[in-house]
Amino acid sequence: MKYLSLIRFPVARRTTLVSRMLLIATVVSLFATLGSAQQTYVGRYDAYVGYAYLDSPHVSLGENGVHTQVGYRVKSWLSLGFDFSDSSGSLTLTPNLLTTALQQTLGAQLVGLVQKGVIPPTYSLTVPVSSTTQTYAAGPQVSYHHFKAVTLFLRPDLGLIHEVATPKGGLDPVATAIVAQLAPSGKKIDKTVFYGFGGGVDVNLGQHFCIRVQADLVHDHLFKDLLKDSRNTVRFSIGPGIQWGKNVVQ
């Protein structure tokens, strides 16, 4: 479209921390499974808190935060639990991420500003944004306790994601005016359902304690009024876990 030729769409180039950490987790789990003795204790309850990294490549969003979980084991291999994470970071909003209608509107406005001599034809619209994301999920998890050294687990992911996006300061007058149109209150808030799957490994340090390494891949479409595409998000998490209560090994 001729209007959009006035807007540069920079491509984000950054190394994905998640992929490196997942590789490390895989190597750790492979070596740990060399111990073949089966677990003799599996507690009724478990809890976890650790570091979380949230990565949404489509919008170049990376966030650091905390991840917590609590679970109740119905069987040694089946748990029901609650999952929560809170993270914050930043992204850069560019016109190519917006809905088609918004792209057309902004393109026409920028053409008018170029014709009036307010901005040069090479003007590039970019808006740096601070973001805070919270996720809430509940559901089942299947675990495999055959190895004494590690516990492997898988789960479906279904829950709610809540995000607050706040444009950063220091924008030029044109970008400031456009942001005022898109977010009159000074920020955008949205929540929606996400779905996907996750899994990981507990590296057991004894009967009650472990180091948990896990990842989740989910799909969502936040800010439908602003962003044209849905997105995939990866959450990587690592930290200490604990289990206690009645032994449910059968």
Express each pLDDT in 149-165 by its tens digit.
Answer: 999 999 999 999 999 99
**Does residue 9 register a pLDDT over 70?**
no
Boundaries of every domain in the chain: 3-247
Q: Answer yes or no: are the C-beta atoms of 168 and 128 closer than 8 Å.
A: yes
CATH for the stretch 3-247? 2.40.160.20
Count Cα neighbours of 237 within 13 Å in the Cβ-side half-sphere: 28
Q: Answer yes or no: are the C-beta atoms of 56 and 89 closer than 8 Å.
A: no
Indicate yes or no: pTM above 0.95: no
The two three-digit tokens of residue 63, written as one number? 């966030």
Average pLDDT over residues 36-48: 90
DSSP summary character for residue 25: H
Q: Could you tell me what percent of the chain has a pLDDT over 70?
A: 85
Express each pLDDT in 91-136 by its tens digit.
Answer: 988 899 999 999 999 999 999 999 999 999 999 889 999 999 999 9
Task: Give the number of other Cβ atoms within 10 Å of residue 177's Cβ.
Answer: 12
Give the pLDDT band of residue 26 (cuts 50, 70, 90).
Answer: low
